[in-house]
């Protein structure tokens, strides 16, 4: 169960690292506009906000990497905190932006959180 929890935490961290790249570097590019379903005009007007969101997603990814590298005494509390943050952000995003955020962020975070706690 430890290996599965680690793999899921790493996957959630990778998702958020990808989101960082999309929001901070590719927001105005065709791939960024396609992923976030924005027009060139919308992307141009919201680029600064997207970069700010990207920075926050970077903090989530860094926290999850910290959880993976932390010793036994910190792994569960650090992982729990950052996975819970991801899950809450995903629920809020699903309620306010797009329901697909629930499946991209919340479901993987909750699966990782469950495995983290079952691993003991």
pLDDT tens digit sequence for 33-84:
999 999 999 999 999 999 999 999 999 999 999 999 998 899 999 999 999 9
Q: In total, how many domains does the chain have?
A: 1
Question: 45 and 27 in contact (C-beta within 8 Å)?
Answer: no
Give tens-digit pLDDT for 85-114: 999 999 999 999 999 999 999 999 999 999
Q: For residue 64, what are the domain limits?
A: 2-119
Strand positions, DSSP E, the chain: none
In the structure encoding, which two tokens stand for residue 54, read together? 């990207």
Cα 45 to Cα 27: distance, rounded to the nearest angstrom? 11
| pLDDT value at residue 5 | 96
pTM to 2 decimals? 0.93
């Amino acid at each position: 169960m430890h290996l599965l929890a680690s793999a899921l935490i790493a996957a959630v961290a990778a998702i958020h690292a990808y989101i960082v790249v999309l929001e901070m570097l590719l927001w105005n590019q065709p791939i960024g506009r396609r992923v976030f379903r924005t027009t060139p005009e919308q992307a141009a007007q919201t680029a600064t906000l997207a970069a700010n969101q990207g920075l926050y997603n970077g903090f989530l990814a860094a926290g999850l990497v910290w959880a993976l590298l932390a010793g036994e005494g910190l792994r569960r509390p650090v992982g729990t905190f950052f996975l819970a943050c991801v899950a809450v952000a995903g629920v809020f995003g699903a309620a306010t932006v797009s329901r697909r955020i629930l499946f991209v962020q919340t479901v993987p975070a909750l699966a990782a959180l469950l495995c983290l706690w079952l691993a003991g």
